[in-house]
Amino acid sequence: MSVAIDPGKVPQKELYSGEKIPAIGLGTFGSDKYSAQQVAEAVYGAVRYGYRLIDCASVYRNEYEIGEVLQKIMKEGIVSREELFITSKVWNDMHDNVIESCKQSLRDLHLDYIDLYFIHWPFPNYHPPGCDVNSRDPNSKPFSLDEYINTWRQCEQLVEMGLARYIGMSNMTIPKLDAVLPLCKIQPAALEMELHPSFQQPELFNYAVERKILPIGYCPLGSPSRPERDRTEDDVVDMEMDEIVEIARAHNVHPASVCLKWAVQRGQVPIPFSVKESQYTSNLKCITEDPLTEEEMEQIRKADKNCRLVKGQVFLWKGAKGWEDLWDMDGTIAK
């Protein structure tokens, strides 16, 4: 293990409450390539190295193993529960039973509370892990404001019950947020969304920031380990973009470091996933030193290719025209 980073030297971001959280976290979506135990071992090593934000989800099927190592870490005195910021998410098939979903995650993670609990996707259906892009759940349905608010009300109950400190949304669009936010009794603390140099979502990013909703970016490195079902011939490889490679050479770092420096300096919280010690340690260390210049940040801003990698085809309902309907591409909520 490399010499640990002092967590106090890791940049922080601010939630609407004024509370500060780490500006980078460790993702735990191991796709279909890594076992739950491999992911859990990475969490153990990452926390020992200095990570304090761990992004989890019930559908990743590794929360129990992660919970075991969290217990181990705390018993060893490496970190206290209060020093950790743990997220989890309710999956699509549990939108009507959010409280039980959260309680199960708490049991698996061996925790008394979740720091931030998300609605993973705004679609109330079940998508079996491992399905390909042509698979369809016959019960898939488009977004329903009434159903989503019912799910959000249950999330609000989690806060009232002390089971979650904050609640958030994920994979939303501006039309959906315009409909939902006026009805929220507790505002979302964060919005988790795909964010990387070739897919910057400036309108959605700014929309969240203006409302004091912290953007948390998944796929910050362009998700090289994402499932085959999400790959298409038109996908851009962020770490091979000319602008990223050029800046990496100037700083004598790996292109991944440039992607993460950009993300943190822009104002989002990236949650890169890796089970390799050399990678997750480098990912944390790089944001504590040698920042990008304003000119380099502008260079990356202009390099946006509007290339969504996680298209979500598996959530399409009968009658949907294509994956674009999931993201309300025409500016209205697709039905």
> Which positions are catalytic?
60
In order of 13, 199, 202, 262, the CA distances from 301 in angstroms are 21, 10, 9, 9
Cα separation, 263 vs 193, whole angstroms: 13
Question: Residue 71 corresponds to which tokens in the numbers above?
Answer: 């217990």
DSSP string, 70-129: HHHHHHTTS--GGG-EEEEEE-GGGTT-HHHHHHHHHHHHT-S-EEEEEE--S--S---T
Could you tell me which residues are beta bridge partners of residue 26?
Answer: 54
Residue with tokens 């990013």: 205
Q: Which of 55, 114, 57 is nearest to 81 (CA)?
A: 114
| Sequence-ordered strand ranges (E) for the chain | 12-14, 20-22, 26-27, 53-55, 85-90, 114-119, 164-170, 190-194, 214-218, 269-270
Q: Are 56 and 85 in contact (CB under 8 A)?
A: no
> What's the full length of the chain, in residues?
335
Question: Residue 218 corresponds to which tokens in the numbers above?
Answer: 């998944």
Amino acid at 128: P
Residues 6+ apart with CB under 8 A from 205: 193, 195, 215, 266, 267, 268
Q: Are 13 and 23 in contact (CB under 8 A)?
A: yes
